[in-house]
A = this chain, B = another copy of it.
Amino acid sequence: MTGYGQFCAIARAHEVLGGRWTLLIVRELLMGSRRFNDIRRGIPRISRTVLSERLQDLVHVGAVTRLEGAHGPEYDLTPAGHELFEIIAALGKWGQRWLSRLAAQEDIDLDPLIHDMARRVEMKRLPTEPMVIRFALDRQPLRFLLLKSGEVSACGENPGFPEALAVRGKLSGLAAWWRGDCDFAAAKRAGLRLEGTKAAIRAFPTWFQLYLLAGIKPAPSR
C-alpha cells in the first residue's frame, strides 16, 4: 500500500516526510550542508541512490530547492523546509529526554560525530597555531581534524600540520560527552583517552561547543 488514506494533516505530513533518512537529510540542511557529498558525510550510511531519490522527493514536496551553483548543484531549504525545524527539534528533544543514553550505543560511526564537531568549533578559544587532532578510536577509520584560524576540516590523512593531540579508546565515551550525557572526566573513565601535551589535553574540551541538544537533559528517572 502506498498512502495512509487519511484526511488528517498529521498523516499527510508523515506520508511525505516519514520515509527512512528523509528527516536526517533535512537535519543536515538545517545544519548548513549544501552539497551532495557534504550531506553524505553527515549521514555516511545512506547510499547515493537513496540520497538522490530523497532529495528529489523533498524538492517535489516543496521543502528543498536545487540550484546549479558555480561548483556544482547546491541544495537549500525553502521557507517550508525551514519550518521543518520544529519537527526536528521536537524529535531531538524527545530523544534526549527519553532514550536511554547510557545504553551500549556501540553501533555508531565516527564520521557524523567529527562532522558535527567540526561545525561547532569555538574559534576564539583555539591556539593561534594551526594544528591537527588525530582520532584513532575503536574500529573506526582513522580521521584527522584540522584546526586553523578560520578553517576547520576533517579528513582521512594528516594534511600536514603538527599533531597536537590524539584521541583514542572508546568512541562511545566521546559520543556520551558530546551528547551531554557526562562530563569529560566520566568519558575518560568510560574508556576515552587523550594523548598529547598536558596543556592540549586540558584545553581540548573547551575548544568546542557541545552538540546542539546537549543542554536537554534526560527526564527524571523512571
CB-based nearest B residue for A99: B12
Per-position binary interface string of chain A over residues 1-19, scored 1 when its CB falls under 8 Å from any chain B CB and 0 otherwise? 1011111111111101110
Q: Does A69 reach chain B (CB closer than 8 Å)? A: no
Given contacts A14-B91, A95-B12, contact A7 B105 (CB under 8 A): yes
CA distance A84 to B95 in the complex (A): 10
CA distance A112 to B6 in the complex (A): 7
Given contacts A1-B45, A7-B112, A87-B87, 20 further A-B contacts (CB under 8 A): A5-B108, A5-B109, A5-B112, A7-B108, A7-B178, A8-B112, A8-B213, A10-B91, A10-B95, A11-B27, A12-B99, A14-B23, A18-B18, A63-B98, A79-B219, A80-B219, A83-B219, A87-B91, A87-B94, A90-B90
| Residues of chain B with a CB closer than 8 A to A18's CB | 18, 20, 23
Q: Does A143 reach chain B (CB closer than 8 Å)? A: no
Q: Does A24 reach chain B (CB closer than 8 Å)? A: yes
| Residues of chain B with a CB closer than 8 A to A94's CB | 9, 13, 17, 80, 83-84, 86-87
Q: Does A162 reach chain B (CB closer than 8 Å)? A: no
CA distance A63 to B105 in the complex (A): 20
Which of A8, A90, A97, A216 is most buried by chain B, counting CB atoms within 10 A of its CB?
A: A8
Copy number in the complex reads 2
Question: What are the 6 closest A-B residue pairs judged by CB atoms, nearest first?
Answer: A9-B95, A13-B95, A7-B175, A10-B92, A86-B90, A87-B90
Please determine whether A10 and B88 come into contact, CB atoms closer than 8 angstroms. Answer: yes
A210 vs chain B, min Cβ distance (A)? 12
Please determine whether A45 and B4 come into contact, CB atoms closer than 8 angstroms. Answer: yes
Please determine whether A13 and B92 come into contact, CB atoms closer than 8 angstroms. Answer: yes
Given contacts A86-B90, A222-B62, contact A99 B10 (CB under 8 A): no
Please determine whether B219 and A8 come into contact, CB atoms closer than 8 angstroms. Answer: no
Q: Does A44 reach chain B (CB closer than 8 Å)? A: yes
Q: Which of A135-178 contact B (CB under 8 A)?
A: 175, 178
